[in-house]
């Protein structure tokens, strides 16, 4: 078993070798927090050190929080896992399936053969994909006149047919807003974040959080890292349930321990 000093050395070496500009690590079990450490810098080439209260964009780890919120609504009887969502949300019923392209390069679209359900969305079997991993969807988004908003992509297969990682949980976030009549930020705050004491987690950054924000980086083919300039609006136009949250290590650990039964929402 690794001892704390050995774990510290592993993370410090990763920073020194340039594998990462900085890292925050925490470990816990049913007895409490077993390990915590912060190493390196919040942004490569800059002075602020990585600390446990550094705020980071948690990207797709947002999906777990959104899924918990959806299951709360299921528990309350406000939505079911297997109802055809298009019957109450026409926007979902109107989504077409992309079958490819004709000889002239025009997209071939058709109605879905089955209805999308919340179970499909939560399990990534609704037919949505991410264009970075689906060449046909990427080609469609580059087509003149294609709608490219956050929830505008077509399906790439019929609901329930197979699995594909994509924007399904973005749709779940939007559905939560329609049912709760609250923004996703407000629903999360009231029903998940505040009850768990997650004061450093949200879609909207306070001024004090911006001063603790970690940078984002791009890795080049030679393995080197470059800092990226990313403009973060004061309030996003769309609360992305699939990847829009910011958090800290200790805050997100509270959420994970809740999932493991340590606390109840």
Q: What is the mean pLDDT of each run of 10 residues along the chain (265 residues)?
A: 82 94 90 91 94 97 98 97 95 94 91 97 97 92 80 95 97 97 97 96 97 95 90 92 97 91 53
The pair of three-digit structure tokens given for residue 181, joined into one six-digit string: 């009549």
Rg (CA), the chain: 21
Compute how many other C-beta atoms are within 10 angstroms of the C-beta atom of residue 50: 23
Cα 17-2-24 angle, rounded to 5 deg: 50
The pTM of this model reads 0.92
Strand partners, 38: 24
What does the pLDDT read at residue 265?
Answer: 40
Instruction: Return the C-alpha torsion angle 78, 261, 56, 40, nearest 10.
Output: -170
| Contact (CB, 8 A) for 101 and 107 | yes
For residues 60 and 148, give the distance between their C-alpha atoms in angstroms, rounded to a whole number: 20
What does the pLDDT read at residue 2?
Answer: 58
| Contact (CB, 8 A) for 242 and 57 | no
Residues annotated as catalytic (active site), given as ranges: 60, 63, 165
| Contact (CB, 8 A) for 210 and 103 | no
Domain 4-66+184-259 has CATH 3.40.710.10: yes
- Which residues, 6 or more positions from 84, have their beta carbon under 8 angstroms from its beta carbon? 93, 115, 116, 117
What does the pLDDT read at residue 264?
Answer: 43
Question: Helix, strand, or coil here: 26?
Answer: strand
For residues 201 and 189, give the distance between their C-alpha atoms in angstroms, rounded to a whole number: 9
What does the pLDDT read at residue 175?
Answer: 97
What does the pLDDT read at residue 108?
Answer: 94
Domain ranges of the chain: 4-66+184-259, 67-171
């Amino acid at each position: 078993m690794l001892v704390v000093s050995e774990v510290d050395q592993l993370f410090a070496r990763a920073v020194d070798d340039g594998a990462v500009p900085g890292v925050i690590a925490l470990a816990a079990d049913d007895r409490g927090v077993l390990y915590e450490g912060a190493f390196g810098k919040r942004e490569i080439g800059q002075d602020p050190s990585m600390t446990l209260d550094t705020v980071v964009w948690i990207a797709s780890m947002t999906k777990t929080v959104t899924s918990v919120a959806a299951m709360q609504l299921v528990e309350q009887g406000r939505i079911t896992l297997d109802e055809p969502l298009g019957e109450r949300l026409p926007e979902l019923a109107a989504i077409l399936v992309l079958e490819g392209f004709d000889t002239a390069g025009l997209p071939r679209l058709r109605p879905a053969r089955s209805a999308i359900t919340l179970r499909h969305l939560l399990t990534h079997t609704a037919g949505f994909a991410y264009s970075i991993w689906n060449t046909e969807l990427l080609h469609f988004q580059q087509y003149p006149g294609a709608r490219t908003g956050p929830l505008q992509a077509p399906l790439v297969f019929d609901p329930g047919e197979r699995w594909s990682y994509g924007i399904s949980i973005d749709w779940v976030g939007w559905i939560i807003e329609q049912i709760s009549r609250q923004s996703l930020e407000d629903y999360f705050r009231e029903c998940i974040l505040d009850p768990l004491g997650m004061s450093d987690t949200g879609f909207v950054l306070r001024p004090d959080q911006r001063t603790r924000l970690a940078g984002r980086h791009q890795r080049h083919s030679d393995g080197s890292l470059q800092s990226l300039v990313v403009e973060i609006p004061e309030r996003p136009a769309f609360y992305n349930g699939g990847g829009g949250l910011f958090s800290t290590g200790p805050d997100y650990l509270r959420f994970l321990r809740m999932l493991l039964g340590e606390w109840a929402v």
